[in-house]
Amino acid sequence: MNAEKYSQLASFIWSVADLLRGDFKQSQYGRIILPFTLLRRMECVLAPTKGVVLQAARKHQNKPDVVREKLLLRVAGQQFFNASPLTLATLSDTQTSDDLMSYVQSFSADGREIFEHFHFEDFVQQLASADLLYRVVQRFATVDLSPDSVSNFGMGVIFEELIRKFAESSNETAGEHFTPRDIVHLTTSLLMTGQDSKLKPNSIVTIYDPTAGTGGFLSEGDAYIQSISQKVTVSLFGQELNPESYAICKADMLIKGQEVGHIKLGNTLADDQLADNTFDFMLSNPPFGVEWKKVQKQVSDEHTGRGFDGRFGPGLPRVSDGSLLFLLHLVSKMRDPREGGSRIGIILNGSPLFTGGAGSGESEIRRYLLQNDLVEAIVALPTDMFYNTGIATYVWLLSNNKPVPRKGKVQLIDGTQHFSKMRKSLGSKRQYITDEQINDLVRLYGRFEETPQSKLFVNEAFGYRRITVERPLRLSFQVTEARIQAVLEEKAIQKLGDGVRDNLGRALRSMDGGVVYKNREQFRKVLKKALGAHDAPSGMAEMKVLLNTLGERDAEADVCMNKGVPEADPSLRDYENVPLGESVRDCFEREVKPHVSDAWIDESKVDTQDGDLGVVGYEIPFNRHFYVFALPRPLEEIDRDLKACTDKIKQMIEALSA
């Protein structure tokens, strides 16, 4: 059965919504259809061994629950069983809800938990009250979801299609639950290519997804390894925040025979439930641009309390986007390179490439990744690839055990032109990547060569030192009536008594308002003398207010000095980024001095890690490296087009006035 057939089957299943219309809200359709689909799939998977399981259940009915469960699991030949003689097709039409819940409660513990996360019993009762339960049950009983008819891959496609329909009907975001299959396949292919040494026969490998969703990445990783290697045991691990997505993922793992205890429910950033594990391969598509304010305390406490012994030692990104936190989390799960190391494939938006200047959390995270030689490649994807957004996205590949030719280097691949148009848009997804285009991108990555679509850089190429360039403060002073009024309205002056303010006003008006002072020290002396003559305050706080209010910036004025050193003008402060490896002072003399001769470098701004002048920053300006300058059209051609356009407009106006 091809993907189109799976999609048609998903549409048939979703047609159950026609029965629900009127008695249930659209936002509830998926919460009924998804668990019933799971139930039918599990029933079909267990059908071949149902008879022997029932015999064993009767035989071992008096044994302790733990012992009985182990025996029945062995007989079922699956990671779950159902010990009820009932099926969806044999449920009573008079006591359907009681029979159905008895049937569900007869699953093994892991199976029962799946339906608890859907609040299945609540919806069963609502269906019964609306006199719809038996009709829904009978509809699902006719759907053939046996493994012979629908593969595990096919069930993944069906679940994703159902979730997408559910998201559309309830105005939720489907992209939070799963990643499009073409993107999953591309990311997995990039991650696994060239890993023959890890995938030898009789090897045991682990795959992990901290944002598991419905388990698409885990399933694809497993399927990919099985397709290219024989006798490799794959163990899948994941954690998911959404209970319903977790339930589908767990059901998928049960059906595949995976250890379901490896799939966890909860927030990965706040509560890592696989804290002591490391993995061979890691895949993730964390939510784009989603804030992490809800877990800010836990994350910040781990950052400050545990530092590099925790997950977030290098730094914290701004609260508005937690993508880089998931990346750091994955890095913390890497195996020791002496044990083979680990590889990571993670999908991120453009923000992690360049957001945040030198010294920011984002820049420090990039610095850590690049200085530790963890970034292997970044692949730019086409736009309009995801169900919930059309923005530019990138696949990051990381490794702590790079092949020798890749050590110290990063490969950037422009895959933005590798797409095909979809016949029908699915949400924001208007384009997809074909298998042939995926193979092209994998080859570009594997060849590790300079081409128009593939660029190679040393890690340091993305680093720079940000120096602070200061220029002197130049002020001229004049005591006009408007400035005197501005002084008297200052908060610090308002706090003085009326008599003191009167004295201050008289002192200022005694000064010659027509004189413009170009030197601050000269003006200060004249001002202080006038204040003293009228018994007005001349303390440090008052003088600061007076000088700030009575002065204005003047390029022709003398430089304001402070203890014999020129005072910097904050409004003229600028920054210069000097590429790593280049002399900061040479760059300053070459790039800055010829244009502003009175500028200087703020020597107090040094890097906190190496103590050298300038704050180190890292950014990856991806698009800049693939920009191709196109010559503008000749002016004659532009003029000709403009004339043709204006002539056409003129003809239209004449036709209207005729």
CB 619 within 8 Å of CB 363? yes
The β-bridge relationship of strands 420-426 and 429-432 is antiparallel
Classify residue 289 by its DSSP letter.
T
Query: How confident is the model at residue 496, as a pLDDT?
Result: 86
Q: In the beta sheet, which residues pair with residue 348?
A: 394
Segment holding 488, helix H or strand E: helix 481-488
State the Cα–Cα distance between residues 273 and 292, nearest whole angstrom. 18
Query: How confident is the model at residue 435, as a pLDDT?
Result: 93
How many angstroms separate the most distant Cα atoms in the chain? 112
State the Cα–Cα distance between residues 157 and 155, nearest whole angstrom. 5
Angle subtended at Cα 479 by Cα 475 and Cα 480, rounded to the nearest 5 degrees: 115
Residue 103 backbone dihedrals phi, psi, to 5 degrees? -60, -50
DSSP 216-263: HHHHHHHHHHHHH-SS-EEEEEEEESSHHHHHHHHHHHHHHT--GGGE
Query: How confident is the model at residue 607, as a pLDDT?
Result: 95
Q: In the beta sheet, which residues pair with residue 561?
A: 566
**pLDDT tens-digit readout, 514-531:** 899 999 999 999 999 999
Classify residue 426 by its DSSP letter.
E
Residue 507 backbone dihedrals phi, psi, to 5 degrees? -60, -45
Q: Of 575, 607, 622, nearest to 354 (Cα)?
A: 622
Question: How many other CB atoms are there within 10 angstroms of residue 655's CB atom?
Answer: 8
Question: How many other CB atoms are there within 10 angstroms of residue 100's CB atom?
Answer: 25
- Residue 305's alpha-carbon distances to 228, 272, 329, 369, 423, in angstroms, are 44, 16, 16, 21, 52
Place of tokens 């026969």: 201
Q: In the beta sheet, which residues pair with residue 380?
A: 394, 414
DSSP 134-179: HHHHHHHHT----TTTS-HHHHHHHHHHHHHHHHHHHT--GGGT--
Place of tokens 């906190």: 608
- Residue 479's alpha-carbon distances to 499, 503, 530, 554, in angstroms, are 21, 15, 12, 15
This prediction has a pTM of 0.85
**pLDDT tens-digit readout, 20-51:** 988 998 888 888 999 999 999 999 999 999 99
State the Cα–Cα distance between residues 2 and 83, nearest whole angstrom. 34
- Residue 639's alpha-carbon distances to 343, 632, 633, 647, 653, in angstroms, are 56, 13, 10, 12, 21
Q: Residue 363: what residue type?
A: S
Query: How confident is the model at residue 177, as a pLDDT?
Result: 54
Query: How confident is the model at residue 2, as a pLDDT?
Result: 65
Residues of the chain with pLDDT under 50: 174-175
Long-range contacts of 482-489 (CB under 8 A, 24+ apart): 483/549, 483/550, 484/508, 484/509, 486/549, 487/545, 487/546, 487/549, 487/550
State the Cα–Cα distance between residues 179 and 157, nearest whole angstrom. 11
State the Cα–Cα distance between residues 588 and 354, nearest whole angstrom. 24
Query: How confident is the model at residue 165, as a pLDDT?
Result: 78
Place of tokens 């003006």: 523
Query: How confident is the model at residue 462, as a pLDDT?
Result: 97
CB 111 within 8 Å of CB 95? no
* CB burial readout 353-388, b (16+ within 10 A) else e: bbbbebbbbbbbbbbbbbeebbbbbbbbbbbbbbbb
Q: Which is it for the CA torsion 536, 537, 542, 548, positive or negative?
A: positive
Q: What is the CATH number of domain 175-462?
A: 3.40.50.150
CB 234 within 8 Å of CB 222? yes
CB 249 within 8 Å of CB 238? yes
CB 163 within 8 Å of CB 156? no
